[in-house]
Structure 1
Amino acid sequence: MATITVTDETFEQDVLNADKPVVLDFWAQWCGPCKMIGPVLEEISGERDDVIIAKMDIDANPETPTKFGVRSIPTLLIFKGGESVATTMGAKPKAQLSQWIDSAL
């Protein structure tokens, strides 16, 4: 499954009301570590169907990151049943990200 792009307008529908847990990546075009983590998340997304991988550009969508206290990027949050259940920050290797996702689910 491919990653999805989420906006402030679609956040409730795509993330809070999703039928699976959602890993939401807060990123920006100018962020080096965000560009490093992007392909890793694409890979994870292609390998797993138990979770939705979503991305939100913080420059284009300022409301949602502010609501969740995102102060540095990349920040990843896992949402389950409409609630934020886990957070991690910074670029991490694939194995570490997969382990983090598993521990939150």
Structure 2
Amino acid sequence: MKTVYYFTADWCQPCKRTRPIVEELNREQKEAGFQIIDVDDNQELVKSFGIQAVPTFILINNGEEIGRIIGGQTKENLEKFIYG
């Protein structure tokens, strides 16, 4: 199963617009799950993944990063990101 790490922050306006899309996809998708990560509460993960902007989406498959996109996204863009 693929996992999408969604790096976000409460103060980030694009994150606020994107979060409902992430939550909807998380309910709908069976082949991928989302992990919502607040950058202010998870500095070690932020550093280990080299996060420089939010929102950032990192696609993980079998423990390996296979994709990354930065910025607010539409539902369609996220589906393409996850499923190609």
Q: 1:68 aligns with which of 49, 54, 58?
A: 49
Unaligned runs of at least 5 residues, structure 1: 1-19
Q: 1:94 aligns with which of 53, 75, 81?
A: 75
Counterpart for residue 29 of structure 1: 10
| TM-score of the aligned structures, taking structure 1 as reference length | 0.77
| TM-score of the aligned structures, taking structure 2 as reference length | 0.95
Unaligned runs of at least 5 residues, structure 2: none
Count of residues in correspondence between the two structures: 84
- 2: distance between equivalents of 1:31 and 1:53? 18
- Percentage of pairs with the same residue: 31
RMSD: 0.7
Displacement of 1:33 in angstroms is 0.5
Displacement of 1:46 in angstroms is 1.3
- 2: distance between equivalents of 1:79 and 1:93? 20
- 2: distance between equivalents of 1:84 and 1:75? 13
- Name the aligned partner's letter for residue 54 of structure 2: I
Hey, which bits of structure 1, 4+ residues long, moved more than 6 A? Answer: none
